[in-house]
Structure 1
Amino acid sequence: MIEFKLEGEFIPLIQLLKATGLVSSGGEAQTMVSAGLVKYNDEVDYRKRLKVKTGDVVVFGEHTIKVI
């Protein structure tokens, strides 16, 4: 599990995937979200500009990100 320390109120989902090193670019992150490969709090979410906040859990493939 990856624990990501949030500095601010939220981080856009695309930026979170880039910041954790799970994708190499914003374009790649957008493609993964559009393809339904990302789960947000146990549900597939297609919103690229989703605001991820403290306490949220994002799952991408075999990686789980907990926002703290």
Structure 2
Amino acid sequence: MRKVEITREPVELYKILKFEGLVSTGGEAKLLIADGQVTVNGEIETRRRKKIVNGDVIEFRGETLQMQLI
């Protein structure tokens, strides 16, 4: 599991996928989220603007990310 440091919360889900380099564009992230390919805290998430906060765990394409507020 990789820790992702965030300086504020909430952060929109699609932005995390983009900024962490898991997708190349925000548009690609939005499509993959809408297609049900991302889970947040073990639940499939289809809302691309889902608000992510400290402690949330995102899983996508074999990567697991845990948000950590700094």
TM range (shorter): over 0.9
Match of 1:61 in 2: 61
What is the identity, as a one-letter code, of the residue corresponding to 1:66?
A: Q
Measured in 2, the distance between the counterparts of 1:56 and 1:24 equals 22
C-alpha distance in 2 between matches for 1:20 and 1:3 = 11
Task: Tell me, in whole angstroms, the C-alpha distance in 1 between the residues paired with 2:59 and 2:7.
Answer: 20
Aligned residues: 68
Shift of 1:2: 2.0
Structure 2 residue runs of 5 or longer lacking an equivalent are none
Q: TM-score, normalized by length of structure 2?
A: 0.93
Identity percentage of aligned residues: 37
The structure where strand makes up a greater share of residues is: 2
CA distance in 2, matches of 1:8, 1:33: 22
Unaligned residue ranges in structure 1 (runs of 5+): none
| Stretches of 4+ aligned residues off by more than 3 angstroms | none
Match of 1:49 in 2: 49
| Cα RMSD (Å) | 0.7
CA shift, 1:3, in A, is 1.1
